[in-house]
Structure 1
């Protein structure tokens, strides 16, 4: 799932090997995931960057530079450079060139909620709490990796999507909350006594309770991607 309210399950795969060079060490998957440009991750955009580096006597890479990246303007070149110090070659060399492919896992299958639906009192309390959160796509959608000359246009796209879908997101959030919190807990929160605590539901049940929230979040991200790609090149893999 790629939505704004959950940690992004990023998978950045590093592929492409210098033909005369073997790696003693490469960046670990978490570091590659952390380097994934934020906007591209939220919008579901993938890419690659090819970099060239010198190899010191220690095997460390030095003087790295981007020689190709696609799509341009999403930060994949900078991301590849940021993890270059995580490589260690098996011997010194004048220069090696290799490609970092940044890929996202498929969207998770959303399992529908199969429990009972909340009553009107619980729903109203959850809705009141959700209003206080002031959920906003414009604040949550990362612009990381975008060049300055695209940020204004992209911010306008995100604001448009927020205007079209924000009410649906807030309604879905309130529903997921009402499904997993008691009326007593929500009333206590509303008067400032406590925040929603650990639900008695299992992790799987909580995930299903968020089915509509995930659906709306995925739709928001897809709309941002669609409108961004209408203005800028997103490469052949963009949906």
Structure 2
């Protein structure tokens, strides 16, 4: 799978309306992530960049309307449609005439680019990875991986029950997913170990191992499930208090709002 990073380049707006004192300007531009999600699939696979120029009307509220594609390069790969799909998320400061916002026209250039991936980081020394793997296991991350897989499998099975699959087909799907989970668990742990090996120095790994493989560390890991449950309960109770206080503060600021009754009011 191609890893892509999409940059917004040459962003700007050219004003086509006359008698405007202040031109429209960007308020919310498309992000790299937004452009990544709309990048045409065939173009991404072939590492083909694209350029689109849109023409839109900027409403007095700052949203875009009546957008059309003026230029699309290369044509026929979906870059125009991709650019148009971004327009509901874009916002402008509207043009001003005598200090009042007015509708105006803008031309918006969007450049879709797929830079070449950089070189992969060199693998860590085997002895460092072995230490990191010990740390991953000592910290209980293998249990976290298992719990995550179980949640994913449970969700898959629950969603699939509402599908058109038969009972036998659902059972086969669930069994296949379980088999894959068992096969991939060591790979996930190894991946985590490689990350730890690249992130921490050997001395830091030794220090962490000494703690998590010691009595205090083992006790801490063993209590994680109970502590997580207790913290979750405490946070839920705290959230109720926060909600109550927020509602009270809101009613102080907007006493006429529906459902707000201030103390002493009759």
Name the TM-score, length of structure 2 as normaliser. 0.42
Higher relative contact order (CA 8 A, sep 6+): 1
Name the TM-score, length of structure 1 as normaliser. 0.47
